[in-house]
A = this chain, B = another copy of it.
Amino acid sequence: MRLAASLRQRSATTGGASVNPGFAVRLQALAAVRSPLCIGIDPSSELLQGWGLPLSAVGVGRFCAIVMEAAGDRVAVVKPQVAFFERFGPDGMRELQSVVATIRAHGALALIDCKRNDIGHTLAAYGEAMLGPDSPFGGDAMTVSAYFGFGALAPVLARAVATGSGIFVVVRSSNPEGAALQDARLADGRTVADSLADAITRFNADLGAAIGPVGAVMGATAEGEAAATLARLPRSFLLAPGIGAQGATFASMAASFGAAAQRALPAISRGILAQGPSVTALREAIERAREGAFRVVEG
């Protein structure tokens, strides 16, 4: 039995599905009301300094509080970037835990951007760390990478299904250095990116949902062969970083994503955060981005 089918069966037996509506269902409902915008929380040294905050876990905590005050209950998905929390050690990781709780308290979904990857029990432990309200970090979703192959992701996919969480697999990144690897061809002629896209779609299809718990990270610049990859992901939310700082705009993204744009989650970090620390200025930037994101999905 395929992994997804066996997970669905188990979920039906335990009644888990009725207790915990899936990530995709929650996201779809929220995005329709709040907009599909995903705000990235990237407390980099550069931004902490720019906001006059100390380069410490305390500074990161204040940064998060300001962003969340500005975002309020207007945003569907907030994406803390773990590297900028880990940067300040265990105290920084406590701020990650704290901001995830704040995001959820605002009724938004917390997407932990950590790009974790490994095999077996190790990857399972990352899933246990990040996914579900009973986990230490308590995320609604996490990002993962697939250098170990899609099959190696099974332990986190299983946890996502069991906890009603989401997974976003990096398929095509927004940086130019990634293209050679992501466009490399498997023995069957498909690109690495396309083969990941197919595996994601099969997993979601086996669960029987129109949109499944496994999404894809697809750079908003979406150049070259990206259109073909997008067409292979009809059952996925598409987390799209790269708007603003990395050169894409809402309009260019809507054009390059085509029909897939209706499942896109345009992700902005620096483009919004650079307006801080003024809550008013951040709120205005978030409003503009919310409207931009609505325009992308409404075509």
Interface residues of A (CB under 8 A from B): 42, 44-46, 81, 83-84, 86-94, 96-97, 115-123, 125-126, 128-130, 136-137, 145-152, 170, 173-187, 191-192, 195
Take A115-B117, A116-B115, A117-B117 as given contacts and tell me if A177 and B151 are in contact as well, using a CB distance cutoff of 8 Å: yes
What's the number of copies of this chain in the assembled complex?
2
Residues of B within 8 A of A125 (CB): 44-45, 83-84, 86-87
**Which residue in B87, B116, B119 is a CB contact (below 8 Å) of A129?**
B87
Q: Are A173 and B83 in contact (CB under 8 A)?
A: no
Q: List 18 additional A-B contacts (Cβ < 8 Å) besides A86-B126, A146-B147.
A: A45-B121, A83-B125, A86-B136, A89-B137, A90-B93, A92-B129, A147-B181, A147-B182, A148-B170, A151-B175, A151-B177, A152-B173, A180-B186, A181-B186, A181-B192, A181-B195, A183-B186, A183-B187
Contact B90–A120 (Cβ < 8 Å): no
Q: In angstroms, how far is the closest chain B Cβ from the Cβ of A133?
A: 13
- B90 with A94: CB separation less than 8 A: yes
A88: which B residues are within 8 A, CB to CB?
129, 136
Q: How far is the CA of A180 from the CA of B129 in the complex (A)?
A: 28
Is A152's CB under 8 angstroms from B177's CB? yes
Docked-complex contact B119 and A173, CB < 8 angstroms: yes
Q: Which B residues lie within 8 Å of A147 (CB)?
A: 117, 145-147, 170, 173, 178, 181-182
